[in-house]
Amino acid sequence: MKQKEILLFGATGQIGRNLIRKLSKNNYKILAVTRNIHRAGYILKTQANPGYLELIELKNFQIDKIDSLIKKCSICINLIGILHENKKQNFKIIHSDLPNMLSMKANKHKIEKFIHLSALGIENATDSKYAKSKLEGEKKINSNFKNSIIIKPSIVYSVDDNFTTNFMTLLSRLPFMPLYYN
């Protein structure tokens, strides 16, 4: 059986790193896209067995390069997302424009699956730029790639993120902690 190739965007995030470990153990070859191969490479290379991971540096979403990468894979997974906007990244580009472009390319090359990570509870959050951009991205994906898979987790945290540390630091500064019971 031919080894399937998966193109993974968002490989350096906590979900991406864990997914690389699982996919490589199940005989998938991962093409992991990163903005900075020198900064991310040493982290990602430890996540997969030798021969299962190829690191690809891609800056500013180079459309021609993305097209050639999607063309040679069976599955495309987009895990890229941001919680806060800044000068370099905004919600529309990351959550709507990029998924739109990726799903169009996936459809063009007739790959098997397009999997996208979105967010839970965005349908009715009309006052949130974050939620609006995520929802817009989902609609574009569903329009471009009919059998897409959109995963909608709630808050995601793990042992190797800063969520628990930040949360505990915040709690230690409060004079009391409100607990709610329903």
pLDDT in tens, 130-168: 999 999 999 999 999 999 999 999 877 767 666 667 777
Burial class (CB in 10 A: 0-12, 13-18, 19+), 180: exposed
Sheet with 5-9: list strands edge to edge: 53-57, 29-34, 5-9, 75-78, 113-117, 149-151
Does residue 126 carry a pLDDT above 80? no
Identify the weakest region by mean pLDDT among 82-96, 141-155, 163-177: 163-177
Q: Could you read off the pLDDT of 59-79 as tens digits, one per residue?
A: 877 888 999 999 999 999 999
Under the phi-then-psi rule, with left for phi > 0, alpha for psi from -120 to 50, and beta for the rest, what region is 110? left
**Structure confidence at residue 38 (pLDDT):** 74
**Structure confidence at residue 182 (pLDDT):** 64
Considering the chain, what percentage of its residues have pLDDT values greater than 90? 51
Q: Is residue 140 part of a domain?
A: yes
Confidence band, pLDDT 50/70/90 cuts, at residue 175:
confident
Q: Is residue 89 part of a domain?
A: yes
Between CA 5 and CA 75 the distance in angstroms is 7
Domain range holding 20? 5-173
Q: Is residue 84 part of a domain?
A: yes
3 state DSSP class of 150 = strand
Identify the weakest region by mean pLDDT among 2-11, 28-37, 46-55: 46-55
Instruction: Give 33 or 49, the one with higher predicted confidence.
Output: 33
β-strand partners of 117 = 151
**Residue type for 34, please?**
T
**Structure confidence at residue 79 (pLDDT):** 96
The domain that holds 105 is classified in CATH as 3.40.50.720
Closest CA to 94 of 117, 65, 114, 127: 117
User: Residue 111's CB: how many other CB atoms inside 10 A?
Assistant: 20
Q: Is residue 181 part of a domain?
A: no
Between CA 122 and CA 132 the distance in angstroms is 7
Number of domains into which the chain is organized: 1
Q: Is residue 178 part of a domain?
A: no
- Mean pLDDT computed over every residue of the chain: 87
**Structure confidence at residue 12 (pLDDT):** 86
Burial class (CB in 10 A: 0-12, 13-18, 19+), 96: buried
Decide: 114 and 141 in contact? Cβ < 8 Å.
yes
Q: Is residue 180 part of a domain?
A: no
Nearest 5°: phi and psi at 131? Answer: -65, -40
Q: Is residue 112 part of a domain?
A: yes
